[in-house]
């Protein structure tokens, strides 16, 4: 079946209610090996998404900060390859397009939270899953983590607790 053209500005008007925290994500198109998602801001995520496939991102409107962890080093840069833990920080009145590969059975995604203490940065919690629908699968994991002080607490030489934005916890 042929794909019909999409009037993107009209789609945004008709679907902006779908771009809600904590993920702010809606699937525009899902094919056999490609998913196109629309993401909006603002969001207040503290997790880092880890996926085993490449990802293309195009910022349509406004500025975007991508927080990544590369070889154990935390950076604020634009993402340019797969398997990089990343935390997209979207600002108010911004719109972006995300195009990802459909996951094969051996592709496992994860959401990961790190200790916010710059002297620690240990992984506090990680949950892996087979990704079928990012827009619906991330929210329950984020909400579970936000609601559990036990999951958000890491004991080392000091106690590290991940703080969570008010709208999620």
Residue 97 lies inside a defined structural domain of this protein: yes
Give CA–CA dist 89/59, Å, rounded: 12
Structural domain harbouring 67:
8-161
Residue 37 domain flag: yes
Q: How many domains does the chain have?
A: 1
State the binding site for O2: 45
88 within a domain of the structure (yes/no): yes
* Per-residue pLDDT at 24: 86
Confidence (pLDDT) at 125:
92
pLDDT at 54: 79
Residue numbers belonging to the annotated binding site: 45, 49, 55, 86, 90, 100
Sites in the chain below the pLDDT cut of 50 = 79-81, 168-169
Residue 58 is part of a domain; what is its CATH number?
2.60.120.10
2 domain residue, yes or no: no
pLDDT on residue 140? 94
Question: Shortest CA distance to 59 belongs to which of 92, 25, 95, 91?
Answer: 95
Q: Please give the annotated binding residues for Fe cation, written as ranges.
A: 49, 55, 86
């Amino acid at each position: 079946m042929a794909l019909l053209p999409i009037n993107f500005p009209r789609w945004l008007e008709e679907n902006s209610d779908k771009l809600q925290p904590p993920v702010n994500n809606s699937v525009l198109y899902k094919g056999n090996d490609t998913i196109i998602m629309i993401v909006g801001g603002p969001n207040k995520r503290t997790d880092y998404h880890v996926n085993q496939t490449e990802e293309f991102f195009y910022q349509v409107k406004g500025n975007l900060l991508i927080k990544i962890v590369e070889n154990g080093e935390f950076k604020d840069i634009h993402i340019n390859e797969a398997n990089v833990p990343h935390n997209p920080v979207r600002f108010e009145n911004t719109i972006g397009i995300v195009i990802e590969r459909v996951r094969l059975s051996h592709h496992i995604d994860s959401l990961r939270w790190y200790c916010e203490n710059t002297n620690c940065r240990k992984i506090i919690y990680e949950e892996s899953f087979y990704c079928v629908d990012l827009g619906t699968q991330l929210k329950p994991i984020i909400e579970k983590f936000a609601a559990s002080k036990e999951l958000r607490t890491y004991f080392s030489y000091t106690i590290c607790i991940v703080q969570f934005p008010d709208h999620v916890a």
